[in-house]
Amino acid sequence: MKAMVLFSGGIDSTTCLGMAIEKYGAQNVIALSISYGQKHTKEIEASDKIVKYYNVKHIYLDLEKIFQYSDCSLLSHS
């Protein structure tokens, strides 16, 4: 069985990633990070370091173009 963890690089998703690795093994866990143009890129940068540390597959999905015209306050261009 494989597990996919929606992974921002923050403390909550890092905890979930660790739990998935503990239960299924690193070789059976995939971390999925999504960029939507958020203001704080620290978590995305941290996610790269964390998945390298745990040696898990990391899928990075860039959705910034989809949200480029949004005026959501969470986005860097808003």
What's the CATH number for 3-62? 3.40.50.620
Sheet of 29-35, strand order: 3-6, 29-35, 57-62
pLDDT tens-digit profile, the chain (78 residues): 799 999 989 899 999 999 999 999 999 999 999 877 665 677 778 889 999 999 999 998 887 776 666 665 555 444
Q: What is residue 78's predicted lDDT score, i.e. its pLDDT? A: 43
Q: What is residue 29's predicted lDDT score, i.e. its pLDDT? A: 98
Burial of 46 (0-12, 13-18, 19+ CB in 10 A): middle
pTM: 0.76
The residue type of 35 is S
Q: How far apart are CA 11 and CA 8, in angstroms?
A: 9
